[in-house]
Amino acid sequence: MLRLGRREFAPHERVIMAIVNRTPDSFYDQGATFRDEPALARVEQAVAEGAAIIDIGGVKAGPGEEVSAEEEVRRTVGFVAEVRRRFPDVVISVDTWRHEVGEAVCEAGADVLNDAWGGVDPRLAEVAARYGAGLVCTHAGGSEPRTRPHRVTYDDVMADILDVTLGLAERAVELGVERESVMIDPGHDFGKSTRHSLEATRRLGEMVATGWPVLVSLSNKDFVGETLDRPVKERVVGTLATTAVSAWLGAQVYRVHEVAETRQVLDMVSSIAGDREPAVARRGLA
């Protein structure tokens, strides 16, 4: 059982985490949800379309203008508090690597800290433990935050992913984070070439076999774009194909931009796997 905030998710329940960027320069929407009202409208739409988790980020993942911890707090804390007020049952995640930000957003009502940079600030897990928050433990190949990979090599990329994420997960539990509230993430694109991300997807079952809930962040990423030679706005089909494969291999949580489309893909996979009844089953019976 995966427990996040007030919610519990069964092992075969495929869960959507909707992305809400509080940045003026995000790679996908170029700041469409930087202001409060568009961002709150995005949350309302995502919840209506089937997202159980809202992932709020105050700093874009890629290189760009420096954002201080104070500015990251300014972009996220008030918004977390307002989302908590308007949507009391939604799980609120915050994408940050900084313990100072983690502390502030947990005070404001965040349920999960999404550490996309692989424990670069070891105190973030301590914050999650202190506040009873969930934690995403990600493989980033040892990369510094907001850097792009350059000639990264692995003897065995999945072995490295498992070594790092399982180590981070066990450390989090030792610090006091509830085991049922820890997720592991292979970190597609982070510290990886396109071939590494494809292999991580192909071998995702090895992560699932560890017993930790697996989160995948695939949405419109560069490995999809390079594989199909498509710009950012033309990567939805490739993303959904990768989502279907990941779902079949057992990933549980999906961090996405396109909520409605992802919900259909996950429901279809769940029904094929026998975990979900068809919404309607009239064919051959009339």
The residues assigned a catalytic role are 221, 255
Residues belonging to the chain:
286
Please name the residues in contact with 74: beta carbons below 8 A apart, sequence gap of 6 or more. none
C-alpha 150: how far from its chain's center? Answer: 23
Round to whole Å and give the CA distance between 275 and 11. Answer: 10
Q: What is the DSSP letter of 44?
A: H
Q: For the chain, how far is it from start to end, CA to CA, in angstroms?
A: 39
Q: How many CB atoms are located within 10 Å of the residue 49 CB?
A: 16
Q: Is 35 left (phi over 0), alpha (psi -120 to 50) or beta?
A: beta
Cβ(23)–Cβ(15) below 8 Å: no
Round to whole Å and give the CA distance between 254 and 269. Answer: 13
Round to whole Å and give the CA distance between 267 and 260. Answer: 11
Lookup result for tokens 């690597």: 97
Radius of gyration of the chain (CA): 18
141-238-198 Cα angle (round to 5):
30
